[in-house]
Amino acid sequence: MKNNAMESEPTRPSRPMLVKDHEQQLSLMIASVKDYAIFMLNPEGRIMSWNTGAEKIKGYTENEIIGKHFSIFYPSEEIQAGKPERELKTALAEGRFEEEGWRLRKDGSLFWANVVITPVYNGAEALLGFSKVTRDLTERKYAEETLRQAQEQFIQASRMGAMARLAGEIAQEFDALTKAIIRQSKFLVSSLNEGNPLRGRVEEIEKIAESASTLTGQLLAFSSGQVLNPKLLDLNIIVSSIRGTLQWLTGKDIELVTELSPTLGWIKIDPFQMENVVINLAARAREAMELGGKLTIKTSSVKVDTAITHANGIIPSGQYVRLSVGDTGKEMNKEAQTRIFEPFFTTSAKGKETGLRLSTVYGVVRQSGGHIMVKSEVGKGTAFEIYFKELKENDTVRG
C-alpha cells in the first residue's frame, strides 16, 4: 500500500493570466461594454478613446472617429447654437452634465440619448479631459410618446362621446318640436287663401322650421342617433354622380379635380349619407378658399401595415378604401385639428358656418364603421382622409 504522503499531488489547472495594471484592467473592461457608448475627450472636446458600445450605438469605427470633435454627434442647429461647448462648460462648473436629447448616428439618423459628461483630473488637479457616457433610449422614447398619444386620444374620445350623447338628447327633443311646427305651419298655409297677408309669414315660419330640422338631422348623425340604410357600393360611383353638384357648390373660382382609382373595392354605407359626407367636406373646402384654389377628391385602395395614430384616433392595420378631400386653403393649427370634429367648433368666420358640418361627417363615418383624419400643413392646405374597410362583392349582400 502506497504512503499517502508520498503520493504526488494532482496537477492544478494553470491560473488565467491577470492584468496587474489597474488602469489597463479598467480600459479593457470599458472597451468591451456593448450597451453604453463610453469614451474620453481631450480638454478641447476631441475624441481620444472609443469602446465597442460607442461603435454599436453611433456607427463609427475607432479609426474613423479618433481625433474628431464630439460635436459631430449633434444636429447642425445645436452646433450653431454652441450647445456642445456649453455642455463642457457646465460639466466643468458643476462637476457633471447630464441630459436627454436627440443625437446623430454616422448614417445621419437620430436616436434619443441619455448623455453624461464628467471632467477628469490628474492628481495635480490638472484637467485631463472629459469622460462621456451615452445610452440609446430611442425605444423607451417612442414607447412614452405612444403612451402619451394614447392618453390624449382616450381623453378626446371621452369628450367626443359625452358631446355626442348630449347632442343626441337635445336633437331628439328638438326634432319633435320642429316637426310639430312644420305640421302646424303646413296646416295653416293650406287654410289661408293666396291673397291672405298672413300666408307669407306662415310660409316663412315653415322654412325656418325646416332649416332647424336640417340642423337636427346633423346633430343626430353626429350622435349616431340617425338610422342609416347601408348598402354595398362603389365609392367612385358616388363621387361621379354628384360631380355636377360639387362643381356648382364650389363655384367658378375653385378648380375641381377628381382622381378615381380604377381598382377600387366595395364599401358598406348609406349612399345618401355618403353623398352628404362628400358635399359637406367640399363645402368646408370652399369656405377655406375664399380667394379661389383647387379642390382635389381622390379615391384609392390602400393597405395599412402599421396602425395609423392621429389627432382624433387610431386607424387599425388592414385593407381600406380611402377617400381624400383636399384643398389649397389656409392650414389649421394643431388645436383646430384636434377639435375640428366637435359640434359647434368652426374655423370659419362668424355667421358663415354652424360648426355642425364636420361633426355630421364624423358621426356618419364612425357610425358606418369608418375612420376619419385631418392633415394640414403650411403651404399645402388641408386634406380630410376617410378610411372604410374594403369589401369584396361576395362579403355581404349587395343592396
CA 399 to chain centre: 35
Buried b (16+ CB within 10 A) or exposed e, 362-380: bbbbbbbebbbbbbbeeee
The CATH number covering residue 167 comes to 1.10.287
For the segment 38-97, what is each residue's pLDDT rounded down to a tens digit? Answer: 899 999 999 999 988 889 999 999 999 999 999 999 988 899 999 999 999 999 999 999
CB–CB of 262/390 below 8 Å? no
For the chain, give the longest Cα–Cα distance.
145
359: amino acid identity, one letter = S
63: amino acid identity, one letter = N
Are residues 158 and 272 both part of a single domain? no
Domain assignment present for residue 7? The answer is no
What are the residue ranges of helices labelled H in the chain? 22-32, 52-58, 62-65, 76-80, 83-94, 138-191, 197-222, 235-241, 243-250, 271-288, 334-339, 357-367
Are residues 172 and 301 both part of a single domain? no
DSSP 197-265: HHHHHHHHHHHHHHHHHHHHHHHHHHTT-S----EEE-HHHHHHHTHHHHHHHH-TTEEEEEEE-TT--
- Work out how many domains the chain is built from and give that number: 3
pLDDT for 158: 65
Q: How far apart are alpha carbons 91 and 152 in whole angstroms?
A: 37
Are residues 246 and 359 both part of a single domain? yes
Q: How far apart are alpha carbons 52 and 27 in whole angstroms?
A: 12
Are residues 124 and 173 both part of a single domain? no
**Assessment of whether the complete model's pTM goes beyond 0.85:** no
Are residues 152 and 239 both part of a single domain? no
Q: Which three cell numbers stand for residue 328?
A: 389649397
pLDDT for 228: 64
| Helix 197-222 vs helix 138-191: crossing angle, to nearest 10 | 160
Domain assignment present for residue 309? The answer is yes
Q: How far apart are alpha carbons 239 and 194 in whole angstroms?
A: 42
Q: Measure Cα distances from 330 to 249, 256, 285, 326, 379 in Å.
A: 19, 17, 10, 11, 8
Domain assignment present for residue 13? The answer is no
The pairing of strands 313-315 and 308-310 is antiparallel
CA atoms within 13 A on the CB side of 5: 0
Are residues 251 and 350 both part of a single domain? yes
Are residues 379 and 250 both part of a single domain? yes
Residue where a domain terminates, one of 136, 167, 187: 136
Q: How far apart are alpha carbons 284 and 280 in whole angstroms?
A: 6
Are residues 284 and 340 both part of a single domain? yes
Neighbours of 28 (CB within 10 A): 11
pLDDT for 209: 77
Are residues 263 and 341 both part of a single domain? yes
pLDDT for 23: 55
For the segment 96-123, what is each residue's pLDDT rounded down to a tens digit? Answer: 999 998 899 998 888 999 999 999 988 7
The tens place of each residue's pLDDT in the chain, 399 residues long, gives 444 444 444 444 444 444 445 555 556 666 666 778 889 999 999 999 998 888 999 999 999 999 999 999 998 889 999 999 999 999 999 999 999 988 999 988 889 999 999 999 887 678 889 999 999 998 888 878 777 766 666 666 666 666 666 666 666 777 777 878 888 888 888 888 888 888 888 888 887 777 677 666 666 665 555 556 788 999 999 999 888 888 888 888 999 999 999 989 999 998 888 888 898 899 888 888 888 899 999 999 999 888 887 776 788 888 999 999 999 988 887 777 777 777 656 655 544 544 567 877 888 888 888 999 898 887 788 999 999 999 976 554 444
Q: How far apart are alpha carbons 116 and 90 in whole angstroms?
A: 11
pLDDT for 48: 92
How many Å from the N-terminal Cα to the C-terminal Cα in the chain? 105
Domain that holds residue 319: 231-389
Residue where a domain terminates, one of 106, 136, 166: 136
